[in-house]
A and B are shown apart, each in its own frame.
Chain A
Amino acid sequence: MASLAAASPAAHAPEGTRALRQQHMLSLGARCALPVAALLGVGFLAPLVAILAYAFATPRSFDVFTSFTLENFAGLFDPANTVWVSFVWSCGFALLTVAILAVIAYPIAYGLNAVFGRWSGLISVFFVFPLFVSENVRLYGWVLFLIKNGVLDGSLKWLGFSGGPEVLYTPGITLFGMVYTYLPFMLFPMTLGLALVPRDLVDAARDLGAGRLFIWREIELPLAMPGIMIGMLLTFVLAIGATAEAKILGGQSIIVISHDIEIAFTYSQNWPLGSAMSVVVTLFIGALTLFALSKLDLDRMLGRR
C-alpha cells in the first residue's frame, strides 16, 4: 500500500486508492447478497451443523461439541439393529412411488400440452388445488372415505353390496397415499419437460414417415427427459422422507425411516442416534441428487440453449 502510494504521483493518489479499494471490496451484487447469505448461514447451515455435531456425540446425551464418538454410526450399521428395515421400506416405497407416478403423470402431462387445449389451465388448477389444503387433513379425509362404515363402505352397503374393501392400515394404502400426495410434484416438471419438445420436430419426423412409437422414443422422450428426471428426483426426495402417509393411512403397518428418526428425537430422547440417522439419510439423498443432477443439462431444461 505504502510503496504503491509512493510510486504514484501525488495528484492521482485518491483515484489510485479508490481503485485498489474497489479491487479488494466485494461487488455490489455480493454486498447486497450479504444479509441473505448471513440469514442462510444462520437459518439453514446452523441446524445442519448442529445435527452433524450431535451425530458424533455420546449416545443418549446432550454433549454436543464436547464429545466425539462413532458409536451412533456403529450402532446403526450393527447387523443386529433392525433400522435397515425402515430404510428399505422408505427407499422401496419412494422408488415405487416414482415408478407409478411416472406412468400416471406422463399421459396427463402429455394431455396438458397437446390434448386438453384451452381446458389445460383449469385441469392444472385441479391438480394444484389439493396443495392448498394441509396434507394431514387430506389424508384424514381419505381415512374417513375408506374406513369401515365410512363414505365408501357405508355407501356400498346402502346400495346393497357387501361393503368396501378393507384397505386401510395396510402397506398398500401407504403407497397409494404417497402416489396421491406427490402427483403434482411429478406432473408439473414433466409437463414443463414435454412443453420443451418443439412441435415442428415432431411434425417433421411424422412427415418423414416416422411412426408414433418411434417419435415418442426418439424425439419426445429424450427431449422431455430433463423435466421427467427433475420430477422423478423431486418425487423421490420427498417420498423418502414421507411419514404422514404411513402413520395416518397405513396405521404404522410399516415404520418408515423418518418416523424412526422422529422416535429417536422424542420417546427415545436419543438425539445423537436420531442425528446419525438423519446424516446417513441426508448423505444418501444428497449423493443421489448430485449424481442425477450431473446427468442433467439444466440449461436445456430451462430453454436457454
Chain B
Amino acid sequence: MSGISRRSLLKGMGTGLGALAAAGPFLSANKAFAAREKELNILCWEGYNSAQVLDPFRSKTGATVKAESLTNDPTMINRLRAGEINTWDLINVNNPWARKVMLPEKLIKPLPKAEFEPFFDKMLPEFKAPYKWAMSDDGKELVGMAQRFGPYSFVVNTDKISRKTAEDTGWDLFNDPALAGKYGILESDDWNVFNIFIIAGIDPFKSHTPEEFAKFEETAKRVFKGAKLIGDIASMNQALISGEIDLHMTGGTYSVSPARADGHPNLRGITPLRGPLPGGKGGIAWIEITSTVNNPNLSPLALEFLKYVQAPDVAHTVAFAEGTFNPVAQMGTKACFDLFTKDELDAIQWDSLQEEMDRSVHYDIVPDYDKALDIMNGAKRLRG
C-alpha cells in the first residue's frame, strides 16, 4: 500500500485511459470485422428473453445471447430504422409488420425457404405453408417464422359477468353506463386504438372519415373517463383478482394466462360473438412472426435459433416462458402438444381457442393510426 501515492495512482489511471483510448478503434474494428459466430442479439416481446428459453441455447452453442424485450411493435421497428440494423439479428413482432413494412423497407431479410418452410407443415392446421403472415406480399419469399399467437380482445371476471353475457354483449359492455368505474384499460395503446374504434362500431383497419373520427373521439373520451384504472398486465390482473374491477380491455390469453395459472380460472379472455370487423367478427388475434434482421453481418446463430425454438420441448418452454403463457403453432405436433399439462391447457384457454380464433380477424395496421393515437392521448388527458 505504501508504494502507491496519489501521483502514481493518477499516473497509472492516465496510462490506463490512454491505452484504452489508443486500443478503442482497434477493438471496435475487430468487432466489426469478426464473424459473429458466437454472438446473437434478439429484439423481442417478453418471453423470448427469458433464461428458460435462452440458457439451453447458450450452453448448446457457447454463444453470448442478448435479448431485449419491448412491449410495442412500432418501438422495435423504429429501433431498426434508427440504425440498429447492425446490432440485432432477430426481431419478433406481430404479424403484419414483417411482410407489410419491414421487408419492403429492407429492415429484414427473407429466410431460406427450402430450409424453413417444412416447419410450417408440423404446425397447427391454420399455419400450413404458405402461411400468409410468414410470406412476402407477392407470396414468393418466406419472411419469418410463426410461434406464439392468441386472441386478444378483453378479459372479464366470470364471477361478475358470465362468459355467455360477455361474449353476447361484446364490446357494448364498454358502452354500458352501469359498468363505468368497474373496468380497467391495459396500457397497450396500439390495441386500445383498435378497441376504441370497435366500441364505436367502426372497423379499425381502414382509412377513416372525419365523421368516424368524431365518433372515435367521443367514444375515447367516454371510455377513458369511465375507466377505474389504466395500467400494465400485472395491475390489471391484480385489480381483477381483488375485485377493484370486473373487466378490462385490451386483454386475452397473453395477459390473463398468468392469473389463470395462478389459481384464478374465473378470469377469462373473451372474444365477442360479433362486431364491426370484416365478416361481422368481433375479436382481434395476434400472431408473432420472428424474422432475421437485414444485418450486413448477420450472426449465423440467427437461423440456428429459429430452428432451435421449433423443437417440441423448446416450443413448450416458449409457450410457458415467464410472465405470459400462450399457445404456440408447434402444438400441431403430438410430441409438442403432449408436453402441455391439463392445467397449462386450461391457463391458455385451449378449450375455446379455436372458436375464439375463428371469431377474430388478425392484427393489422391502421392506416391513420397516428391521428387516432393523438386523439386517444388527448382523451386520456381529460380523465383527471
Question: A-side interface residues toward B, CB under 8 Å?
Answer: 32, 35, 60, 62, 81-83, 85-86, 89, 143, 147-150, 168-169, 171, 247-248, 251-255, 260, 263, 266-270
Contacts and interface: CB of A to CB of B under 8 A. Distances in A.
Interface residues of B, number: 34
Contact of A266 (B72, B228, B242, B370): B72
Contacts, number: 80
A149 B378 contact: no
B369 to A, nearest CB: 10
A263 B106 CA distance: 27
B128 interface: no
Interface stretch (B74-82, B305-313, B343-351): B74-82
Contact of B383 (A168, A254, A266, A267): A254
Interface stretch (B152-160, B172-180, B231-239): B231-239
A85 B81 contact: no
B190 interface: yes
Contact of A251 (B231, B243, B373, B382): B231
B377 A251 contact: no
Given A149-B243, A247-B231, A82 B238 contact: no
A20 B184 CA distance: 73
B320 to A, nearest CB: 24
Nearest to B228: A169
Contacts of B82: 62
Given A35-B17, A254-B384, A267-B190, A248 B243 contact: no
Given A62-B78, A62-B81, A263-B189, A85 B381 contact: yes
Given A255-B381, A269-B75, A147 B228 contact: no
B226 to A, nearest CB: 12
Contacts of B190: 267
A20 to B, nearest CB: 24
14 contacts: A35-B13, A35-B14, A35-B17, A82-B378, A83-B381, A89-B384, A148-B244, A149-B243, A168-B229, A251-B228, A251-B229, A255-B383, A260-B377, A263-B377
Contacts of A252: 187, 229-231, 380, 383
Contact of B235 (A248, A260, A267, A269): A248
Given A60-B370, A85-B384, A268 B377 contact: yes
A147 B242 contact: yes
A211 B383 CA distance: 50
A85 B231 CA distance: 20
A171 B384 contact: yes
B74 A147 contact: no
B75 A86 contact: no
B81 A266 contact: no
A169 B245 CA distance: 11
B384 A251 contact: no
B239 A253 contact: no
Given A35-B17, A62-B82, A252-B229, A85 B382 contact: yes
A267 B190 CA distance: 7
Contacts of B37: none
Given A143-B235, A267-B74, 19 more contacts: A35-B14, A60-B370, A82-B382, A85-B382, A149-B242, A169-B229, A171-B384, A247-B231, A248-B235, A251-B229, A252-B229, A253-B229, A255-B381, A263-B377, A267-B72, A267-B373, A268-B373, A268-B374, A270-B370
Interface in B361-384: 370, 373-374, 377-378, 380-384
A255 B225 CA distance: 12
A73 to B, nearest CB: 16
Contacts of A260: 377, 381
Interface in B332-370: 370
B10 interface: yes
Contacts of A251: 184, 228-231, 235
Contacts of B13: 35
Contacts of B72: 266-267
